[in-house]
Every structure is written in C-alpha cells, then in structure tokens.
Amino acid sequence: SQQGEEDPQALSIQEGENATMNCSYKTSINNLQWYRQNSGRGLVHLILIRSNEREKHSGRLRVTLDTSKKSSSLLITASRAADTASYFCATDRGSTLGRLYFGRGTQLTVWP
C-alpha cells in the first residue's frame, strides 16, 4: 500500500514562482526522502531528511518535516521550466532493510 500521499496531485506555476508540495504518511519513520522524475526517465534522489531534523536545505530546495503531524513539505524557490517533473516522497516506515514506500507523486509544470 502507498505510504506517502502527495498533495496536490498536480501543480502549475509560472517561472520564478515558488512551488510547494506536501506529503503525509501514516507510520513512524527513520527518514523521509524526496525524488524527482522527469518524463520518461527514472527517479532521481533530491534530498533526505532524518526523523530528528525539522528542516533541510539543498540549493533551491527546502524540505520540512513535522513528525507529530506525520507530514513533510518540499519547497522549490524561483522555479524554472527545467523543474517540470513529477515529485515523489518516500519513507522507510522505520525499516532498516532499505525498503522505501513511495507516494503517488505531484506533477509540477512550470511555464516559461
């Protein structure tokens, strides 16, 4: 069964605007990750946030984690057309076997 539920399912913005995607999950976790998938390609890891962290930055990406609400958000600042892709959150459900449980993703479209 799906672990993460991304919200919204689709997001359409103009270049230069910020894009915020949310993820909710149901179980305890060791960490939560965000991945990007360009059309017709495999997933690419973007950022990992551990359960004891509240916020993490990587370039134009900012991820927050609220374990009390079992939710995370991914913020992309100053979006570019090249950011157009699907974004997935994934959790480990506390497993140490390396398994990840992915949500259904948010399709982000950034218009020039």
Partner 1 sequence: NAGVTQTPKFRVLKTGQSMTLLCAQDMNHEYMYWYRQDPGMGLRLIHYSVGEGTTAKGEVPDGYNVSRLKKQNFLLGLESAAPSQTSVYFCASSYDRLAKNIQYFGAGTRLSVL
Q: How many residues belong to the chain?
A: 112
Q: In the set 50, 54, 57, 80, which binds partner 1 (CB under 8 A)?
A: 50
Residue 80 in the binding site for partner 1 (CB under 8 A): no
105/76 Cα distance (integer angstroms): 15
37 vs 64 by CB, closer to partner 1? 37
CA-nearest of 72, 101, 107 to 87 is 107
- Residue that the structure tokens 């916020």 belong to: 55
56 vs 102 by CB, closer to partner 1? 102
62/56 Cα distance (integer angstroms): 6
Residue 59 in the binding site for partner 1 (CB under 8 A): no
SS3 83: helix
Binding mask 22-41 toward partner 1 (x if CB under 8 A, else -) reads --------xx-x------xx
Note whether 62 and 53 are within 8 A (CB). Answer: no
In the complex, least distance from residue 35 CB atom to partner 1, rounded to whole angstroms: 8
20 vs 31 by CB, closer to partner 1? 31
Which residues here bind partner 1, judged by CB under 8 A?
1-2, 30-31, 33, 40-45, 48, 50, 88, 92, 96-105
